[in-house]
Structure 1
Amino acid sequence: MGSEEERIAIEKEKVLMVGAGGIGCELLKTLALTGFKHIHLIDMDTIEVSNLNRQFLFRKSHVGQSKAKVAREAVLKFRPGVDIVAHHGNVKNAEFDIDFFKQFSVVLNGLDNLEARRHVNRLCLAAGVPLVESGTTGYLGQVTVHINGKTECYECQPKPAPKSYPVCTITSTPSKLIHCIVWAKELALAKLFGDKSQANELDVRPSVLADAKADTNEVGNDADFFELRRGESTSQFAGRVFDRIFGYNIETALQNEDTWKARRRPDPLYLDKILPPEEFTAEENGNGEIENPTVSAMVTLGLKNPQKIWDVQENARVFLETIQLFFKRRSKDIGKLVFDKDDQLAVEFVTAAANLRAHSFGIPMQSLFEAKGMAGNIIHAIATTNACIAGLIVLEALKLLTKRTEQCRMTYCVEHPTRKMLLVPVEPAEPNPHCYVCSETPLVLEVNTVTATMRDVIEKVLKRKLGVDSPVIMQGSSLLYETGDDLEEDMAAHYASLLNKSLASYPTPITTGVVLTVEDYHQDFRCSLHVKHRETFDEEKEPDGMLITGDIASVVNTDDTLQPKIVADEDLSNKVENGHGDDDDDDDDMVMFTPETLAGAKRKLEEEESLPVEKRLKIEQLPAMS
């Protein structure tokens, strides 16, 4: 294939880009400069100040605007002849269905999370469109090619479920700062400012934000305690909450002597032991009339350096100030607040609350910069890595468009210590015959059918582990569950009434031997779950109380194929620590999918043409990426 044939292909064919973040900005620019004429771009995010250091198509004046639309306008300024269609929306939306994907010759992903990647993979399989995947973290990156029927699909290799910790660790015996951050996000922030009607699985343990054996007049009911009382100033409320969660609750936990026989005993913290009384006994009473989403406790307290680790007094001041500012400046958010890494005040609250709890339990505190990275699932990006990866995406797209699929490579940006190679190209693997996505082979669901509910299965297995967005569940010919805007009201109520029933108590009991068929019509996805009853689970290793086995496990640790174990920054954040990760609003370069199990893999690796004699070499050991 010559350059003329490439030119004709790229001017004629339509390509779809998903994601306009760090990689996406570089990719759109490179596509336009390479000569691509017909580009569609999907991104649901808006521009944040934190994007500007690497997403070079954006300027400060663009903050708050659509990434997709601004990226289009920026590129058209230096390539006005390119037909770029910008879609500001979630790629999971119904409008981006299989027929939409069929109009493109190739799909190029610059996404940031596992759920969206899975969704695009399934639509590409259904539409018969090749997919080029990508990801970066720091100096590391990768580009992978997926062709239906010829190479493995994106999900042919197992992606570990987001790491989660047992509830008792989070609420009772934290040993790492991430435990405290999860506690601050999912319990403290939610209790104070979130939707209190929503069930919180961290609430099932009585040791942290729950009542114990105490004078109910002093402590009050948990549901009422975290409400501003009549005549109470916001500073008084903040002080009352402080003493409750960092003082009284710790003392209550200490009453269980058995818990602390082999652990360091935590130290209760009370405000009057940390700050002068005048700092937390003011009588002002904010009415929340002034709304300002960018308000900051750091600004009002004169704390300028986000990389400085605050001492206990500073953390206490930030904790008190954030609560007061929410009531005085963000009152409209109270009752519906959800943590967002770009919400400065929420990040400040989580940092201070996590640090205070960490100090109580003898855990080193961290700066807001580090805490934000852990809480917001951030791995800090490097613009040059994004540019390299974007160039590699375009090279693979050119091969696909000119039918040179045999030349396609999975390329990993990682320095090989003995070969001195920065870019490691690897031949794509064949489709995995055990893949539950592209081969539809069955899975085994181990679950306690007496205690687990259908809601548990949907949330913890189908959505979190299998990436199903809109599940339809059948047992034989019986429809057990479905969702949709066109669903009749009485049927929707019927399915909802069964969600909290245990599997074994369904009209036709769901227990060992029962096969559940799961479908997602939007994704054109279908799989079978063979149910196996199991009484107990290891709370440390299996905190969900459910286990998917069979084909997912069977493809791990083979001797003769590349096994890229996909690892995001799960060790750092709520996406992993707390089992969440379905938001599409982080930067694509903040989640890195790396071939950690390259170590020990035996694989043919293509060398550059300039190398003497050998065109191929066997790699006996490649470095693990973290």
Structure 2
Amino acid sequence: MTSTSQREAIKGAKVLMVGAGGIGCELLKTLALSGFQDIHIIDMDTIEVSNLNRQFLFRQSHVGQSKAKVAREAVLKFRPSINITASHANVKDPQFNVEFFKQFNVVLNGLDNLDARRHVNRLCLAAEVPLVESGTTGFLGQVTVHIKGRTECYECQTKPTPKTYPVCTITSTPSKFVHCIVWAKDLLFAKLFGDKNQGNDLNVRSSSNGSEGNNSSDASKDVFEQSPHESPDQYARKIYDHVFGHNIEAALSNEETWKNRRRPRPIYVRDVLPEGERNEGVKYEDGVGSIPSAMGLLGLKNPQEIWSLSENTRVFLEVVRLFLEKRDKEVGNLTFDKDDQLAVEFVTASANIRASSFGIPLHSLFEAKGIAGNIVHAVATTNAIISGLIVIEAIKVLLRDSNNYRMTYCLEHPNRKMLLMPVEPFEANPSCYVCSETPLLLEVNTATTKLRDVIDKIVKSKLGMNLPLVMQGLSLIYEEGDDLDADMVATYAINLDKVLNEFPTPVTNGTTLSVEDFQQELTCNINIKHRDEFDEEKEPDGMVLTGWSGPTTKSEKSSSSSNGDSSSAAGAKRKLEEVSEGNGKNKGIAQEVEVNDEDDDVSVLDGFPETNKKKRVQ
């Protein structure tokens, strides 16, 4: 039975729930059935067909609607007396600031990405509101409690990051299918349909290679620029012949590369499709409704079947044509999305054609989507277990029952018949730049690196700041925000392109930069250490940041990243000491499984090194 104090704490609590997906649906239902009366939900996503097998508050008729709002309506049908406020919005939007967070007694996370988790963690620290964090991946999951001044914050320990691969391997000598996926997704798709001005890693300058759709007048142009005289079909064939034919022939000219490797074979459209099919596109009728998929138009119905080289070729040509004819307004601004059927078809076909060239086994669209989207399929039961554990910890937080806070891992114990392993929370990491004042160290070549690189690669990417302000001593050298006047914006734009040691007061060895994000109410100091040279493969940013608890990877790193092969297992973050059972508490060994998503788009993670054992919070 629930005690009177528990009932009163639950009834009087104001709860913020961030995320209304796999965990969020279960969590909202459990909160409502547990007696919570005042719940606020934030979620920016809309419902998709793929959500329906585990997000049980949603139905087919809800597809395309706001997750937060539909979840609210569904729960109010069986708990009409409670107050649920739903916001279809991004938790990083400015209205959800520190003052907004201060109105809640506890924040419950069911998020699907590291960036948003870090943002919520910082707002909770600034607002001094307890945070209950969670995540699942397949049959694994965890619930952790983070309270300022009593436990570690979410960022006190290293987080998993997708595995990366050297650019030279991706672009020149792939040996695994995942290499082909990374090439197709991060290079070819991005170059064709994304920002045309991005760095060129595809040898995309035209040459006299006999590709269809080329003529001598185009010899100095970027192959990825569609000429006025080219139809979408001609353009698609030109791209195909260049990247799968001419580029491979060019690579073969370097004999040294292939001394100890299997030589790839160039592939041209004329070699794959019969002559009669070379200029025949699939016909479809224009009309109201969704844009057709290449698979549907070509009669390829089973996503788990492996397409032949000719089928992959037809899909490639058809997808390019569909993008140019039906989604032309999006071309130039697209990024890969695993829920974009055409994008998945393009990456699958492109990766398979490249794999065929390099003698790598082909994969089905189902498999390719899993690798490209880092999918570990969600298990509804795990979501339900984790949601129940979140509510249990939330009640303890409301009762301020700190002696019984637990971080619980849904993970099979290696030696005992245990699936749920609760352990006491850890103390804050004294070197955490988020919840302590420990400065960071940035090794950088101050004579060649621009401020823009530091802002983009360090302050925003690694430190997760949204609207940074950078001070050098008493001088403000950079700031972002909507309230800046035109003169200030112009000055900061000029500063971005300055090399660090070219500022009036040079940023050089021994300089300390103070970086703030007013939205997150986070400030940290970065000590600068000049360094002349960096390893391009191991240190692709040309900078090394130490003293932070950001993502860690294994030794393979590059500027072209992937989220790894879908067969990789989620790794252990750290091991806790085994506690004897003589003290009457069932603790045992636990390994933290850091999970990035609560949905079926979970990042596949590599293992983590052990960290030093830390004193538990009593």
Would you say same fold, with TM above 0.5?
yes
* Cα distance change, pair 60–576 in 1 and its aligned pair in 2 (3 A): farther
Aligned to 2:545: 548
CA contact (8 A) 1:165 1:540 kept: no
Aligned to 1:230: 228
Deviates more, 1:543-552 or 1:511-520: 543-552
1:365-417 deviations in Å (ceiling 9; x for gaps): 22111211222232210010000000000000010111112101000000113
| Aligned counterpart in structure 1 of residue 577 of structure 2, from 595, 599, 602 | 602
Aligned to 2:395: 398
The CA distance in 1 between the partners of 2:520 and 2:22, in whole Å, is 26
Aligned-pair identity in percent equals 60
**Secondary structure of the structure 2 residue equivalent to 1:232:** coil
Pairing of 1:131-150 with structure 2 (within 5 A): 131-150=131-150
Aligned to 2:324: 327
| Code of the aligned partner of 1:538 | D
CA contact (8 A) 2:409 2:593 kept: no
Aligned to 2:47: 47
Alignment partner of 1:491 is 2:488:
yes
CA contact (8 A) 1:375 1:572 kept: no
CA drift at 1:95: 0.2
| Code of the aligned partner of 2:67 | K
1:505-554 deviations in Å (ceiling 9; x for gaps): 3333222211111110000111111111222323333222221113549x
Normalized against structure 1, the TM-score is what?
0.87
CA contact (8 A) 2:272 2:309 kept: yes
Pairing of 1:359-374 with structure 2 (within 5 A): 359-374=356-371
Alignment partner of 1:475 is 2:472:
yes
CA contact (8 A) 1:602 1:618 kept: no
CA drift at 1:151: 0.4
Pairing of 1:387-536 with structure 2 (within 5 A): 387-536=384-533
The CA distance in 1 between the partners of 2:207 and 2:572, in whole Å, is 45
CA contact (8 A) 1:235 1:280 kept: no
CA contact (8 A) 1:520 1:526 kept: yes
The CA distance in 2 between the partners of 1:124 and 1:176, in whole Å, is 42
1:60-104 deviations in Å (ceiling 9; x for gaps): 111111110011001111111110000110000100000000000
CA drift at 1:237: 1.8
Aligned to 2:561: 577
CA drift at 1:214: 6.8
Pairing of 1:4-403 with structure 2 (within 5 A): 4-197=4-197, 199-200=198-199, 203=200, 205=201, 208-211=203-206, 217-218=215-216, 220=218, 224-282=222-280, 293-403=290-400
1:393-445 deviations in Å (ceiling 9; x for gaps): 00000101111121010000001131111001011001111111000211111
**Secondary structure of the structure 2 residue equivalent to 1:40:** strand
Aligned to 2:536: 539
The CA distance in 2 between the partners of 1:89 and 1:389, in whole Å, is 24
* Cα distance change, pair 361–577 in 1 and its aligned pair in 2 (3 A): same
CA drift at 1:289: 7.2
* Cα distance change, pair 405–185 in 1 and its aligned pair in 2 (3 A): same
CA drift at 1:256: 2.3
* Cα distance change, pair 295–119 in 1 and its aligned pair in 2 (3 A): same
The CA distance in 1 between the partners of 2:319 and 2:491, in whole Å, is 43
Deviates more, 1:238-247 or 1:458-467: 458-467
CA contact (8 A) 1:162 1:576 kept: no
The CA distance in 2 between the partners of 1:219 and 1:177, in whole Å, is 36
Aligned to 2:585: 616
| Code of the aligned partner of 1:252 | A
CA drift at 1:327: 2.2
* Cα distance change, pair 32–281 in 1 and its aligned pair in 2 (3 A): same
CA contact (8 A) 2:165 2:560 kept: no
The CA distance in 1 between the partners of 2:557 and 2:342, in whole Å, is 18
The CA distance in 1 between the partners of 2:294 and 2:368, in whole Å, is 16
* Cα distance change, pair 217–233 in 1 and its aligned pair in 2 (3 A): closer
**Secondary structure of the structure 1 residue equivalent to 2:513:** strand
* Cα distance change, pair 316–571 in 1 and its aligned pair in 2 (3 A): farther
CA drift at 1:278: 2.0
Name stretches of at least 5 consecutive residues in structure 2 with no aligned partner: 595-604, 606-618
| Code of the aligned partner of 2:234 | Q
CA contact (8 A) 1:18 1:110 kept: yes
**Secondary structure of the structure 2 residue equivalent to 1:355:** helix
CA drift at 1:446: 1.4
The CA distance in 2 between the partners of 1:291 and 1:221, in whole Å, is 40
**Secondary structure of the structure 2 residue equivalent to 1:616:** coil
The CA distance in 2 between the partners of 1:285 and 1:270, in whole Å, is 23
| Code of the aligned partner of 2:367 | E
CA drift at 1:120: 0.2
* Equivalenced residues, count: 590
Deviates more, 1:531-540 or 1:469-478: 531-540
Aligned to 1:585: none
**Secondary structure of the structure 1 residue equivalent to 2:144:** strand
* Cα distance change, pair 110–366 in 1 and its aligned pair in 2 (3 A): same
The CA distance in 1 between the partners of 2:158 and 2:17, in whole Å, is 24
Name stretches of at least 5 consecutive residues in structure 1 with no aligned partner: 554-564, 581-589, 608-612
